[in-house]
Structure 1
């Protein structure tokens, strides 16, 4: 199990495709997952990237990484510095960021603070502004243990719950998804992250108005950037995407049909956007 030491001494987990037998040492892609997700967030896109060196990181408190002693370090700023520490650990001068949700916010901050380390970024259903309904939904589930007894029960529930935003997704896919985001415990499914992440978010929300992220977007817009949007997303709506395009005329925008927040990344439209970006800019 590959691990590295963060600046504050925490041990964090990552997966480097170069460690696999017969791996191809191509251009580096640093995959940064969603808020409560982990390195398995990119399981479905990985088979389509054999020509690239794909590095997947578990943020502090998520997946197989250590939980933080100080929950205030569950922040975009700290996670951005952790990403740079991982690149330093691997001897990577530059990488393309593939950032899902929270990972896209980290990419924006890195573009402002460490632009020389980025070749560009692909954002999966995230922008510098979050639609209010999406933010409310996030606070409904963060830190809350699922109520499902097992993965089969979770799959059945996800089919019913997600169908309006994820048309055509099979029960088998939802079961795999459940396995990637939750652990099976003796008394039911459990979180694969530190539940105190909720306390950290609430503390940050109570500290004052949210920072204006549009300046960070302007920094990222100086680099090659592609934005994937789920057509049914409640976080990145068409209005926000249009404002992003207006401030970044060279941005490539891809809408993924029949997907909410977030696309799995192996959809036809998502793959076309990802592979086109990597071919031109990685």
Structure 2
């Protein structure tokens, strides 16, 4: 074979698909399937703050799956997904600052996406890895989109759970009605009833699932129970006039890593047309719709976990 023919054959050959991720070589330890609480010190525009995170799986596994929650939620939302992925990944579920077990910011205007992006990069540095896979629900997906759109970013596979480059003004107004406005509840049952009401778009959950979401979302305070987030996270919402949809198409179109979009079929935040366009633009995401669910799928049910698991495990970390 001539040199020219050999070069033609080399450059015309199709690359082999990436090998699927296999479970780590050592047998799973029981502790892999239990949450470990950690924290990392971050710095923002007005000083230091502490970000808590929950970790699952083999702490020595170099493959890291970062799961980032929605606006008023916390990292314990991903407990079921984390247990399912623990044989394959070191799963890390942060409480975005102002939520869950994390500290609160003194200057409430700092509850913005640039703060959250910087904190996640600090967390990745703490984990001592070069690359991650990312699952982001709602706000967590926006953070992931921003990171994944940057040159030389660490995200190698991205799951956007019910969020995309167009955020509808109607959904922002709905969220703005309750974020930061929750009262002190006289009992845990009253707190759970409130969570069931404002989170009704999550779809049909079992009593045990609602109980889990409630137990990880409220804390005892003087006079009753309160949501486990800083009411100040709502201040930027109230200061920003909500007159039009938010358009982040340039951010989305800069993403190059394999991407999966999970959409609640009844979602008012990620519209069906936007999701279809995401399959044709930018990273040309794969799309999965979850029936009878609005904003957002909880990824607690095996049927919702399965497509996320299959997508993540289809490629090398």
Into which bin does the TM-score normalised by the smaller protein fall?
Answer: 0.7 to 0.9
The one of 65, 70, 93 equivalent to 1:29 is 65
Q: Distance in 2 between matches of 1:153 and 1:208?
A: 34
CA 88–229 in structure 1, closer or farther in 2 if over 3 Å, else same: same
| Aligned-residue offset at 1:167 | 4.9
Any stretches of 5+ residues in structure 1 without a counterpart? none
Equivalent residue, structure 2, for 1:69: 106
The within-5 A match list for 1:1-282 is 1-8=37-44, 9-18=48-57, 25=61, 27-50=63-86, 51-113=88-150, 115-146=152-183, 148-156=185-193, 165-203=201-239, 205-206=240-241, 212-220=247-255, 222-248=256-282, 250-281=284-315, 282=317
Aligned-pair Cα RMSD in Å: 2.5
| Aligned-residue offset at 1:138 | 0.4
- Say whether the 8 Å CA contact 1:155–1:171 is kept in structure 2: no
CA 206–47 in structure 1, closer or farther in 2 if over 3 Å, else same: same
Give the TM-score of the pair, scaled to structure 2.
Answer: 0.79
- Say whether the 8 Å CA contact 1:152–1:175 is kept in structure 2: no
Any stretches of 5+ residues in structure 2 without a counterpart? 1-36
- Say whether the 8 Å CA contact 2:167–2:247 is kept in structure 1: no
Question: Which deviates the most, 103-112 or 59-68?
Answer: 59-68
Of structures 1 and 2, the larger Rg is shown by 2
- The runs of at least 4 aligned residues of structure 1 exceeding 4 Å deviation read 156-163, 206-211
Q: How many residues align?
A: 276
